[in-house]
């Protein structure tokens, strides 16, 4: 049990606010930083691939003569994002944006969001498809490792009590008031954390990988059932994009939570594994910040 | 109150700076030969893994009800800049012949009528452009494998090259190449008909290649000559295809 999480080091008694504790296993830390690299590159190169055909369809086929449910277009320097029957003027961000040389570029996602920063479908595919191996192999290794070392059972498994609506609502209320757990309670993932991490680990990343593979014509011959599962290649492409959007939203909330919970303590714990437990909340008013590093 | 603000500002500036550096770093890596060749080695992993898992498996086939109402024509919409092709097109390709040569025992010249008289395969398959769109069409034509057997490949033959009459945007003519595993795959056909009608000019008349487990740029149109080769080196840009030479697209386009 050398790698056991949440073991207090200072004393054998229950850990208290201010104690330094081991929080993240090596497997979690390695996967976290591998994912930071892999997902960032996948996202940015994926946006460049999207630029080659900035339209999304539902069904087995979909091309210019067919009706897309999402479309990015440019009309005389004005960028437009259309979703269903709603159109948004997205000039400056999506569809048409000024590049580093001050020129208006008519492409769906601007160069500062994409790899490479100037249009190249071939190079974007080179990056995307190479780093896909890293993303998928890292996920598989982490799932197996986490199954073996008990991370999934101990830290991610949702108990029956945690599934109760009352418990979930109480946690939502705590988050809304930015009241984060202190002392020993901060060692456990709270229920919203568990839901978010499980959604990424078992939902969004596998969905991104599965829909990505479904877009491969050769892989369709290996696993045609994936086409049935996702409703055809163009549906898979749409779901792939939505999975990426879901990951972006997760990262945005994740980063906000890290900043609110004390970024230095949190980031340090994800690098070294060591975490300083937030102090118990005192009655005084000036004591709202959960961490003071 | 200034302290947290300035810290926040510092963080924001730091994040923007790191982001900019990372982006510039990616562009720099993108141009570094050693890093590119590392990324390109993933292409071998794609081909190796997909061949291992897929072998000779068939691409999904669809029903007539699944056909795209309007199959998008892409790439060259005509080969009219090629005088020979234009002359044959004007005559309805009645005098046109497909040349099969290179590393074969018996070079062949096959008329369109001859190609139509060989055993035919009709398949409704999905055409996937590298850009991301898809269209479903019905294709009819003889299997390439049968033609290659008639010609008799020499043992040194490793690749089948398709020479085309079109030159997209001027310059070098279009060409593509596949390996023998794809060449002898049952769904690899020389399509002379699409959706039950003779192949239209915009789709590559009189024949185009269908190699169903790869992306659209491998589906060479306006094919005039099929050549068996031992290597792709020395042929045009040496990368085995028009887009491979011009824009660095992957030669193996199964993904």
Interface test with A, best of B30, B123, B132 (most A CBs within 10 A): B132
Average pLDDT over residues B190-212: 98
- In this prediction, residue A287 has a pLDDT band, given cuts at 50, 70 and 90, of very low
CA distance B90 to B170: 21
Report phi then psi at B116, rounded to 5: -75, -25
What ipTM goes with this model?
0.92
Q: Which residues of A touch B131 (CB under 8 A)?
A: 52-53, 121
- In this prediction, residue B11 has a pLDDT band, given cuts at 50, 70 and 90, of low
CA distance A242 to A101: 31
Are B60 and A117 a contacting pair at CB < 8 A?
A: no
Contact by Cβ (8 Å): A138, A35: yes
Question: Could you tell me if A100 and A121 lie in one domain?
Answer: no
User: Per the domain annotation, does A160 fall within a domain?
Assistant: yes
Q: What is the pLDDT of residue A186?
A: 84
Contact by Cβ (8 Å): A233, A60: yes
Task: Answer with the residue of higher pLDDT: A183 or B112.
Answer: B112
Chain B CA closest to residue A228: B60
Q: Does B20 score more than 80 pLDDT?
A: no
Are B50 and A125 a contacting pair at CB < 8 A?
A: no
Q: Does B120 score more than 80 pLDDT?
A: yes
Q: Does B13 score more than 80 pLDDT?
A: no
Q: What is the pLDDT of residue B1?
A: 42
Question: Could you tell me if A175 and A232 lie in one domain?
Answer: yes
The H or E element that residue B65 is part of is none
Contact by Cβ (8 Å): B60, A216: no
Q: Does A279 score more than 90 pLDDT?
A: no
Q: Number of folded domains in chain A? A: 2
Question: From the list B42, B132, B254, which residue is nearest A53 (CB)?
Answer: B132
Lowest mean pLDDT among A75-79, A134-138, A280-284: A280-284
Q: What is the pLDDT of residue A231?
A: 98
Chain B CA closest to residue A41: B26
User: Per the domain annotation, does A6 fall within a domain?
Assistant: no
- Picking from A106, A128, A145, the residue at the C-terminal end of a domain is A106
Question: Could you tell me if A231 and A250 lie in one domain?
Answer: yes
Q: Does A262 score more than 50 pLDDT?
A: yes
Question: From the list A60, A65, A234, which residue is nearest B62 (CB)?
Answer: A60
Quick: pLDDT tens for A228-258. Answer: 999 999 999 999 999 999 999 999 999 999 9
Question: Could you tell me if A163 and A252 lie in one domain?
Answer: yes
- In this prediction, residue A37 has a pLDDT band, given cuts at 50, 70 and 90, of very high
User: Per the domain annotation, does A16 fall within a domain?
Assistant: no
Q: What is the pLDDT of residue B4?
A: 52
Task: Answer with the residue of higher pLDDT: B53 or A289.
Answer: B53
Q: Which residues of A touch B195 (CB under 8 A)?
A: none
Average pLDDT over residues A82-101: 91
Question: Could you tell me if A90 and A138 lie in one domain?
Answer: no
User: What is the domain extent for residue A99?
Assistant: 55-106
User: Per the domain annotation, does A68 fall within a domain?
Assistant: yes
User: Per the domain annotation, does A5 fall within a domain?
Assistant: no
User: Per the domain annotation, does A286 fall within a domain?
Assistant: no
∠ CA A168-A170-A176, nearest 5°, is 105
User: Per the domain annotation, does A14 fall within a domain?
Assistant: no
B211 Ramachandran zone, left/alpha/beta (phi>0; psi -120 to 50): beta
- Picking from A69, A84, A106, the residue at the C-terminal end of a domain is A106
Task: Report the DSSP pairing between strands B197-198 and B208-210.
Answer: unpaired
Chain A CA closest to residue B57: A221
CA distance B182 to B101: 18
CATH code: domain of residue A272: 1.20.950.20
Q: What is the pLDDT of residue A236?
A: 98
Question: Could you tell me if A234 and A125 lie in one domain?
Answer: yes
Q: Which residues of A touch B43 (CB under 8 A)?
A: 129
CA distance B131 to A107: 14
Task: Report the DSSP pairing between strands B97-102 and B223-229.
Answer: parallel
Are B131 and A133 a contacting pair at CB < 8 A?
A: no
Q: What is the pLDDT of residue B55?
A: 87
Question: Could you tell me if A185 and A203 lie in one domain?
Answer: yes
Question: From the list A49, A63, A120, which residue is nearest B68 (CB)?
Answer: A63
Average of per-residue pLDDT values in chain B:
94
Question: From the list B57, B128, B212, which residue is nearest A222 (CB)?
Answer: B57
CA distance A261 to A289: 8
Q: Does B97 score more than 60 pLDDT?
A: yes
Q: Which contacts qualify for B37-43: CB closer than 8 Å, 24 or more apart?
A: B38/A130, B39/A126, B39/A127, B39/A130, B40/A126, B40/B250, B41/A130, B42/A126, B42/A129, B42/A130, B42/A133, B43/A129, B43/B250, B43/B251, B43/B252
Task: Answer with the residue of higher pLDDT: A281 or A218.
Answer: A218
Question: From the list A44, A61, A115, which residue is nearest B134 (CB)?
Answer: A61
Question: Could you tell me if A38 and A170 lie in one domain?
Answer: yes
Quick: pLDDT tens for A103-113. Answer: 888 899 999 99
Are A122 and B68 a contacting pair at CB < 8 A?
A: no
Quick: pLDDT tens for B210-254. Answer: 999 999 999 999 999 999 999 999 999 999 999 999 999 999 999
Interface test with B, best of A66, A220, A225 (most B CBs within 10 A): A220
Question: Could you tell me if A90 and A197 lie in one domain?
Answer: no
- How close A159 comes to chain B (CA, Å)? 38
Residues B166-177, buried b or exposed e (16+ Cβ, 10 A)?
A: bbbeeeebbbbb
Lowest mean pLDDT among A54-68, A91-105, A224-238: A91-105
Contact by Cβ (8 Å): A209, A135: yes
Question: Could you tell me if A96 and A223 lie in one domain?
Answer: no
Q: Does A54 score more than 70 pLDDT?
A: yes
Interface test with A, best of B37, B68, B133 (most A CBs within 10 A): B133
Indicate the burial class of A49 (C-beta count within 10 angstroms; 0-12, 13-18, 19 or more). buried
Q: Angle formed by the axes of helices A233-261 and A26-52, to 10°?
A: 130
Report phi then psi at A283, rounded to 5: -75, -25
Task: Answer with the residue of higher pLDDT: A190 or B204.
Answer: B204
Question: Could you tell me if A74 and A49 lie in one domain?
Answer: no
User: Per the domain annotation, does A7 fall within a domain?
Assistant: no
Q: Which residues of B touch A117 (CB under 8 A)?
A: 23, 26-27
Q: Is the pTM of this model over 0.80?
A: yes
Q: Which residues of B touch A60 (CB under 8 A)?
A: 62, 66, 126, 134, 136
> How many CB atoms within 10 Å of residue B153?
18
Report phi then psi at A197, rounded to 5: -65, -40
Q: What is the pLDDT of residue B19?
A: 77
SS3 state at A8: strand
Q: Which residues of B touch A44 (CB under 8 A)?
A: 26
- How close B241 comes to chain A (CA, Å)? 14
Question: Could you tell me if A270 and A214 lie in one domain?
Answer: yes
């Amino acid at each position: 049990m050398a790698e056991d999480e949440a073991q207090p080091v200072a004393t054998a008694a229950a850990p208290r606010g201010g104690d330094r504790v081991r929080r993240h296993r090596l497997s979690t830390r390695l996967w976290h930083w591998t994912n930071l690299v892999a997902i960032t590159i996948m996202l940015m190169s994926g946006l460049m691939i999207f630029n080659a055909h900035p339209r999304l369809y539902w069904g087995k086929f979909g091309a210019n003569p067919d009706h897309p449910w999402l479309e990015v277009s440019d009309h005389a320097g004005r960028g437009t994002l259309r979703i269903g029957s709603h159109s948004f003027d997205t000039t400056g961000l999506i569809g048409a944006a000024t590049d580093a040389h001050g020129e208006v570029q008519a492409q769906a996602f601007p160069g500062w969001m994409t790899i490479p920063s100037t249009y190249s479908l071939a190079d974007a595919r080179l990056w995307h498809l190479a780093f896909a191996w890293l993303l998928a192999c890292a996920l598989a290794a982490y799932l197996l490792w986490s199954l073996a070392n008990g991370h999934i059972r101990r830290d991610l498994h949702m108990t029956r009590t945690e599934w109760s609506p009352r418990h979930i609502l109480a946690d939502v209320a705590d988050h809304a008031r930015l009241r984060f757990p202190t002392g020993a309670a901060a060692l456990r993932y709270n229920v919203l954390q568990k839901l978010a991490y499980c959604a990424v680990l078992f939902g969004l990343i596998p969905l991104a990988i599965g829909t990505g593979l479904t877009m491969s014509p050769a892989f369709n011959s290996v696993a045609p059932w994936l086409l049935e599962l996702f409703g055809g290649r163009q549906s898979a492409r749409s779901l792939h994009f939505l999975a990426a959007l879901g990951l972006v939203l997760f990262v945005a909330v994740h980063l906000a939570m890290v900043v609110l919970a004390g970024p230095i303590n949190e980031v340090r714990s994800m690098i070294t594994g060591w975490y300083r437990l937030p102090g118990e909340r005192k009655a005084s008013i000036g004591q709202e910040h959960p961490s003071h590093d | 109150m200034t302290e947290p603000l300035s810290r926040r500002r510092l963080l924001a500036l730091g994040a923007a700076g790191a982001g900019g550096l990372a982006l510039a770093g990616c562009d720099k890596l993108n141009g570094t030969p050693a890093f590119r060749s590392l990324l390109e080695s993933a292409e071998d992993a794609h081909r190796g893994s997909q061949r291992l898992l897929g072998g000779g498996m068939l691409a999904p086939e669809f029903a007539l009800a699944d056909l795209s109402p309007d199959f998008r024509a892409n790439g060259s919409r005509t080969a009219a800049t090629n005088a020979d092709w234009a002359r044959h097109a004007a005559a309805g390709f009645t005098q046109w012949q497909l040349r099969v040569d290179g590393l074969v025992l018996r070079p062949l010249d096959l008329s369109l009528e001859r190609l139509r008289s060989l055993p035919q395969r009709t398949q409704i398959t999905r055409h996937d452009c590298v850009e991301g769109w898809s269209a479903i069409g019905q294709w009819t034509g003889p299997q390439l494998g049968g033609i290659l057997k008639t010609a008799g490949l020499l043992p040194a033959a490793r690749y089948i090259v398709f020479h085309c009459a079109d030159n997209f945007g001027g310059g070098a003519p279009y060409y593509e190449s596949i390996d023998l595993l794809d060449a002898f795959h049952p769904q690899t056909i020389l399509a002379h008909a699409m959706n039950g009608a003779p192949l239209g000019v915009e789709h590559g008349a009189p024949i185009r290649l269908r190699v169903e487990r790869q992306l659209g740029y491998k589906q060479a149109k306006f094919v005039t000559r099929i050549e068996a080769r031992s290597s792709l080196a020395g042929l045009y840009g040496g990368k085995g295809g028009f887009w491979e030479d011009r824009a660095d697209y992957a030669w193996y386009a199964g993904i």
